[in-house]
Structure 1
């Protein structure tokens, strides 16, 4: 164990390419390409505002305005001790004169702290660096660093934020964090490191990570590093990174940071990013998965086709640009209405913390949607267009949701082309059975005795069948839509039973009994 911690400590030492103790990467995009890449004041020198500096540079009122403003507001590391790194007074006066009219037109003013007479007259920088002093030109290229190969973006730009000129250099430097990655001390460690070592391109320049993303990674891993005698690298000091315009890395205005979903029940939905704390205040997905374990039985029983997504949108809410997407009140009501009866049979009630009136009615999630795939309304429209109706009566959206669940073999929440083909074949067979056997009745419906024969393959006992019949029949029996819905629901329950049976250490003698009990508990 001692050797392990010693090895981990060695691996966590900052890489050789790390910056000096008081130097940080230049993260302000308007100050890149000026011949230096590090500064002691990444958020602006004392008394200066980065926002005001950016406004002045963006006017482009003088060819040298960026060089002047940046070397004063975001000075090169060590510039305070060396006049050779400071701009000359004459250049400052020239820029100020060039910009006077442009600033007036934009109702801006020259910052009073930027005094030209405070700059040296000799042994100073006369202008932007000569072409030979420029850093290597930035180049976009596909990401080849293995750790960062599955990001939301596929290309990076070099040199990166730490000055690495090649991805091989970046990959070697990332080895310092290999042990932390294996431990999994923070879900934000990987996306943060990749945003520094293989950053996304912003107009040909590396896009810096957000401070909130860095802080979450440092908070999650800092205590472990301290225990082994190491510390967060100064080159990655979170205070050096910006707090504004962070949506591109999944960071919201309130500091929330999107992270991949690790809760098994909530994987394979239309979204794959969540945020903590969740809607119930759980501070980690590990805590959330324990709290939501009660709903495993609800989801497996399929008491409502909405229950899985609704529960996930609360315990692992969808995260978009760092902002939480909340479920709709109507969505909650559908899930509650479908499962409340089953919960009552277990002697429990709908949780107080999930009362539907607490959820919004607008700008919320009402169903699992993914434009490029077929969701419930799309399934229904497909069946209507294909003529899968009887005497002008089409299937309902509720039945369409059941069909989607049954045919969704890859558990993505949507149907692809192959699954749609199987869907149409299944509905055609059921429809033909209904038309040939029951549609001739007036009115067309299935009476109790014939329905019981139609469901013999599901081995329902009398009590279970009576409950199923009373919930789905009308005075004249069961019509076409209800017939498709009942058959599909029983097919889903049977598939789930057999899928779970494969994982149980039991023999065939108890399988028949277990199946009947499962169907009874799910239906009654």
Structure 2
């Protein structure tokens, strides 16, 4: 198991003597390629239609751009064989980073979505997975999602060589307020756009009434307009009700006054339309205006299959 201290790029170097024929210089750690004999056996003997290769982490892979290295393996450790699939699947997790549920969330996820280029696969440590899961799953449940089976922690090494993080033992930053996670995101144009692309629905709405429903809140709408409209039957669209999951007893400042309009990001979970973020429709906010301009100029990646 890798040490918990030191800089993230160095964690990658500390394991290379056992994997490579020579110890790379720090400036070249992210350029390590594959030996031909290793290619067909990469990722525990799995075979792919594409030969594993090192590629640059693209700037629009928002989850992992700037993670601490510049090159990644494709196919990755989640069996995504194309960059289009990697980008779309990874975009689903971008909103979780803004919640600061654990300081190593990005390192853990990018170990799998954008694994560093080495001759053999290098997985996250099991204890790192468990720490991130235990800290972030309660937040995910506000969005109606459990910890996914594809990230099951018992599949990762416990004592063998694995990736840790220098931040793993640090406490997560305390939340400034105890507001509902769906309501506490600061508006940043780029992250809001990524969140919108990860959502099935992006709506401009006016709210008629908010009702408590057990542990949740239901938003009854007066008007709605789709910036992004996922698959929905015409009848369901007319009668659309939005659910603030586990939001009955936590504050949501945006809903204290129902006047004006709101931007609501939504995903359908089973039969319910679950809110993942809600913001006041505030054109006086510079970042919100940047977001609106980006919506007009850019197109989200074509949907694939996605967890969140």
TM-score (norm 2): 0.43
Instruction: Give TM-score, length-normalised by structure 1.
Output: 0.26
Q: Larger C-alpha radius of gyration, 1 or 2?
A: 1
Q: Which has the higher contact order (CA 8 A, sep 6+)?
A: 2
Higher helix share: 1
